[in-house]
Structure 1
Amino acid sequence: MTSIPQPDGAIDATASAAELAEAYRAGRTTPSEVAEDALARIARLEPVVNAFADHDPVQVRRDAAASTDRFRRGVPLGPLDGVPVTVKENMTRAGVPARSGSAATDPVVPTVDSPIPARLGEAGAVVLGSTTMPDWGMLSSGVSSLHGVTRSPLDPSLTVGGSSAGAGAAAAAGLGPIHFGTDIGGSIRFPAAWLGLAGLKPSAGRVPIDPPYLGRAGGPIARRVGDLAAAMAVVTRPDVRDHTSLPYEAIDWADLRVDVRGLRVGLQLDAGAGLPVDPEVAAAVRTAAERFAAAGAEVVELAPFIDDHLLGQVDRFWRVRFRRTYDELAPPARARVLPYIARWVAPGADVSGTDVLAAYDDLGELRHRTVLATAGFDAVLSPVASMAAFPAERPMPWGEEDLGMAHIAFTLPYNLSGQPAASVNAGTTTDGRAIALQIAGPRFADRGVLALAEWWERERPADAGAPPVPHRVA
């Protein structure tokens, strides 16, 4: 997706990180001018979209002015200096209250930035604010007891996905090129999928986070794959607070060249668990696989390797985990928890310790199956989600009914196996909702996954590109 120039020819906040860096160096615009464009977009869109948990225009202007001065003196801090970005609320920032999307949670006000905001600050990026998430990050929507409903800038009647809800909304709204979320079962890939964007769940440990948690990864959402790579170049730098982080590797993230000829690519259209795949979603993913095959890849159908028992065991483990969080609240605070979440955690109170350990062991079994099933492939293509975007007010794709985690069968395996997985738009349904292609790769092959995503971005049909940037929403 190309940027949208303003009438005077200046590049605005919808430009890529590379375009902004070049324009700053050439003096064609300044970080302050671009920040003002982003702030104007926020003022127009935020009353409907509701993407921000915290947004301080005064601080944004200060940070942009400091970046403008660095460029004036010829000493920018790097390729993201002056680039507008956002971070999810659970990526805590010094002095900014954070409540994990829940009206029941007492605010945490850290004194230091967590790893991703810290790396962004060192790089000179201009953080527009912290973005919304649903209660404790355990919904695949933008519904929150604290923030209300975060809505799609493309169609406010539809969900943005979650739990990186505000990050997806900010990216779709063109509020700068890079927006960071977290993903424990699809929470970066779902917003990217349902908004027609690009998103990357990195390999486990590739991007330091604090605190680390089994299956959880931090990564970027953007309108272009190239901006995902630009983000990774900064946030993969070491941070001792994440004891699970990988040794730092000096990857050339800017080099996304790839030849698909001879690659062995798996195609999975049946996860073996969860909800059935919408025929339009399956057709779009199969069309993408045919393009890979036409370019010389060997495409092989990948049989299901998980089942509903394993998916249910992960759901059980998480219910117990967050029932503990619920039980630690004072009774008045429990009443403020989103009703869907309160109902979801309730069965967690009746799970025995033995059954919790059995569920934990099944997390390991799911990881084991994923690694073995995908080991013979350079990449695996699949849907991100079985369905397209659903109404914004629903906490889950099916509404208020409790179907556990029936919608994450394609995404969850790569969280538990620690493998990188990207979401890239692959088409639309007949009524215009985005359909995503998931590209997963071997563990540590993050650059390779991005290279294949960028190849698809170039080769996909014209009607499968990122949606236009909205200038207003009804």
Structure 2
Amino acid sequence: MYQSATELLEEYRAGRLSPVEATEAVLSRIDRLEPELHALYAYEPEQARAAAKASEQRWRSGEAGALDGIPLTLKENIATRGTPVPLGTAATELTPAPADAPAAARVREAGGVLLAKTTMPDYGMLTSGLSSFHNAARNPWDLSRTPGGSSAGAAAAAAAGYGPLHVGTDIGGSIRLPAGWCGLVGFKPSFGRVPVDPPYIGRVAGPLTRTVADTALLMSVLSRPDSRDHMSLPPSELPWADLGCEVAGLRIGLQLDPGAGLDVEPEIRAAVGEAARLLEAAGATVEPLAPFLTREMLDGLDTFWRVRAWCDISSLPADRRAKVLPYIAEWAEGGADVSGAAAYRGFSQIDVMSVAAVRATAPFDFVLSPTCPVSAPAADWASPTNDPQRPFEHIPFTVPYNMSGQPAVSVNCGHTGDGLPIGLQIAGRRFDDLGVLRLAAAFEVIRGPQRALQV
């Protein structure tokens, strides 16, 4: 089903469609496509039907919530009460979660119809759907390609029409990268805008949808406060539904060279350049932004994350440790012999990267770049390099904004010669979540209709 959430809500209000009918249509689509996509975990159609029936009654009684009757999914690492959280890996003990995480609690309170959780790679540390626990998720645009990750199943589900709303998480690009490769809107809000549990440096939860309006709608719910996140921003009432944007007069930076990592493929460079030209024609001033990421920053982050992963994996019993995806195990082992000083120097690059991002982007209202320098690799590759010694070469455009906490969104801006989507990243100043979504909505109009996915 490719109706947007905003369209479904209008249909429900007018009585032209019921949540039960919409949910049945989505369930039928899932049953047809899921054997090939492998996007879902803990798929529970009967619970979805019951939730849709309850929503139908709320609409009839005038008690509908903000997302009432909208079919949606949550990434597997967002806890839902009673469902184990394997974190994408066979090494995790399958213990039912005691409570809903903040994002799960908010969408349920708003009346959303939870269809399933969505699959992810081991510990969320791959831009891929490869997993030792789940079957590898596939890209609906080309089943031989990965949808990206770590919100792999969420992106595949969103692109394939498993309902209009999907929630992922992002600590280095895990919402935006799969959104870019699947032709979606993938929003990484400002750090702390959406409460998460457990909180961690750079980690956010956010929407993957097919329209900016749906992303804004979902943000109006996800951003509601939750005391479990001690790192969250103070609650604020933002006018999420107001997506009007005057492009004329905006000062926009265009970054086509991140400073480290993989070279930008020519087709991607051309598509992002054309997006910049469209905004310039609409009255924006577009100026080049020089690279600000360095090899030291990217390698330092890699070192710290390896140490963190090794601390977790090495503490597992031997039988469980042996079940970790070999790529992840080899990558994490690189942190086994790192000295305390080297681990600290790696960790310190988080602040260095954050300061560099904020200072470099400060002269601009927004910054455009590719979401990823390369297009989606094969579904059985762990990353675009497929090399655990070079794991983060594809995230130089995305990860700085996790470390700086700035909001950033990926929107589709074209397709490769092979028909694969190309993501345009729009980043904004700290806490200007609404501004980023407003420019993305303006770009949706300026770029015109996009190629339809035929599945």
TM-score (norm 1): 0.95
Q: Please show how residues 181-200 of structure 1 align to structure 2 within 5 Å.
A: 181-200=168-187
Instruction: Give runs of aligned pairs for residues 81-160 of structure 1, distance below 5 A.
Output: 81-160=68-147
1:29 corresponds to which of 8, 14, 17:
17
Q: Is 1:468 aligned to 2:453, yes or no?
A: yes
Q: How far did residue 88 of structure 1 move? A: 0.2
Distance in 1 of aligned mates of 2:231 and 2:27: 37
Which residue of structure 1 aligns with residue 408 of structure 2? Answer: 421
Gaps of 5+ in 2: none
Q: Residue in 1 aligned with 2:157?
A: 170
User: For the structure 1 residues 225 and 122, does the alpha-carbon distance in structure 2 shift closer, same or farther, using more than 3 Å as the test?
Assistant: same
The SS at the match of 1:163 is: coil
Question: Is 1:18 matched up with 2:6?
Answer: yes
Cα distance in 2 for residues equivalent to 1:105 and 1:57: 25
d(CA) in 2 for partners of 1:466 and 1:160? 17
Distance 1:320 1:469 in 2: 43
Structure 2 match to 1:281: 268
Aligned counterpart for 1:315 among listed residues 282, 302, 318: 302
Q: CA separation in 1, counterparts of 2:419 and 2:109?
A: 40
Separation in 2, partners of 1:306, 1:399 = 22
The one of 204, 223, 227 equivalent to 1:217 is 204
Identity %: 52
Kept in 2: contact 1:196–1:466 (CA 8 A): no
Q: CA deviation at 1:436?
A: 0.9
Q: In the TM superposition, what is the alpha-carbon distance from 1:461 to its structure 2 partner?
A: 4.9
Give ranges in structure 1 of 5+ residues lacking alignment. 1-12
SS state of the match for residue 349, structure 1? coil
Residues 41-73 of structure 1: CA distance to partner in whole angstroms, max 9, x if unpaired? 110011000011111111111111100111122
Does the alignment pair 1:52 with 2:34? Answer: no
Name the CA shift for 1:273/1:157 in 2 (closer, same or farther; >3 Å): same
Q: Distance in 1 between matches of 2:137 and 2:253?
A: 35
1: CA distance, partners of 2:217 / 2:118 = 20
- Measured in 2, the distance between the counterparts of 1:22 and 1:467 equals 23
Q: Partners in 1 of 2:65 and 2:349 — Cα distance?
A: 46
Q: For residue 252 of structure 2, give the secondary structure of its aligned residue in structure 1.
A: strand
Shift of 1:115: 0.2
Partner of residue 292 from structure 1, selected from 259, 275, 279: 279
Distance in 2 separating the partners of 1:423 and 1:340: 27
Distance 1:91 1:445, change over 3 A: same
Aligned partner (choices 72, 78, 88) of residue 60 of structure 2: 72
Runs of 4+ aligned structure 1 residues displaced above 4 Å come to none
Secondary structure class of the residue paired with 2:41: strand
Paired position in structure 2 for 1:436? 423
* Partners of 2:385 and 2:391 within 8 A in 1: no
Determine which of 211, 214, 238 is the counterpart of 1:227. Answer: 214
Give the whole-Å Cα distance in 2 for the aligned partners of 1:20 and 1:297. 34
TM-superposition CA deviations, 1:144-195 (whole Å, max 9, x none): 0000210012221111000000100110011111100000000000111001
Tell me what 2:396 maps to. Answer: 409
What is the TM-score with the length of structure 2 in the denominator? 0.98
DSSP 3-state at the match of 1:107:
coil
Amino acid at match of 2:6: A
Residue 206 (structure 1) aligned with residue 193 (structure 2): yes
Q: Any idea what SS the aligned residue of 1:350 has?
A: coil
Deviates more, 1:65-74 or 1:134-143: 65-74
Separation in structure 2 between the aligned mates of residue 461 and residue 18 of structure 1, nearest angstrom: 19
Number of corresponding residues? 455
> Cα 1:41–1:23, aligned 2, differ >3 Å: closer, same or farther?
same
Any idea what the Cα deviations from partners look like across 1:354-407, whole Å, max 9, x if unmatched?
111111111110101111000111000000100011111111112245313111
Aligned partners of 1:180 and 1:221 also within 8 Å: yes
Output the CA distance in 1 between the equivalents of 2:391 and 2:12.
48
What is the rounded CA distance, in whole Å, between the counterparts of 2:387 and 2:28 in structure 1? Answer: 36
How far the C-alpha of 1:466 sits from its partner, in A, is: 5.5
Q: Is the 8 A contact 1:223 1:466 kept in 2?
A: no
Q: CA contact under 8 A between 1:174 and 1:469: conserved in structure 2? A: no
Is the Cα contact below 8 Å between 2:76 and 2:120 reproduced in 1?
yes
Per-residue deviation at 1:293? 1.0
Structure 2 equivalent of residue 179 of structure 1: 166
Distance in 2 (CA, whole Å) between partners of 1:318 and 1:261 is 41
SS at match of 1:144: coil
Mapped to 1, the partners of 2:15 and 2:412 lie a distance apart of 34
Over 3 Å counting, the alpha-carbon distance change for 1:143 and 1:186 in structure 2 is same
**Residue 366, structure 1, aligned to residue 353, structure 2:** yes
Give the Cα–Cα distance (whole angstroms) in 1 for the partners of residues 268 and 393 of structure 2: 16
Aligned to 1:3: none
Structure 1 distance, partners of 2:307, 2:179, is 28
Task: Quote the residue 2:338 is aligned against.
Answer: 351
The 2-side partners of 1:374 and 1:169 are apart by 32
Shift of 1:328: 1.3
Q: In 2, distance between residues paired with 1:461 and 1:398? A: 33
Q: Report if the CA contact (8 A) 2:328-2:388 is conserved.
A: no
In 1, Cα distance between equivalents of 2:111 and 2:203: 26
SS in 2 for 1:265: strand
- The answer for the alignment partner of 1:304 in structure 2 is 291
Return the alpha-carbon distance in structure 1 between the equivalents of residues 78 and 196 of structure 2. Answer: 8
Residue in structure 2 matched with residue 263 of structure 1 by the alignment? 250
Letter in 2 for 1:107: L
Shift of 1:17: 1.2
Q: Which amino acid aligns with 1:366?
A: M
Cα drift, residue 469 of structure 1:
5.3
Partner of 1:457: 444
After TM superposition, the structure 1 stretch with the greater mean CA deviation from structure 2, 419-428 or 153-162, is 153-162
Instruction: Report if aligned partners of 2:170, 2:188 keep a CA contact under 8 Å in 1.
Output: yes
- Alignment partners' CA distance in 1, 2:171 and 2:271: 25
Secondary structure, aligned partner of 1:98: coil
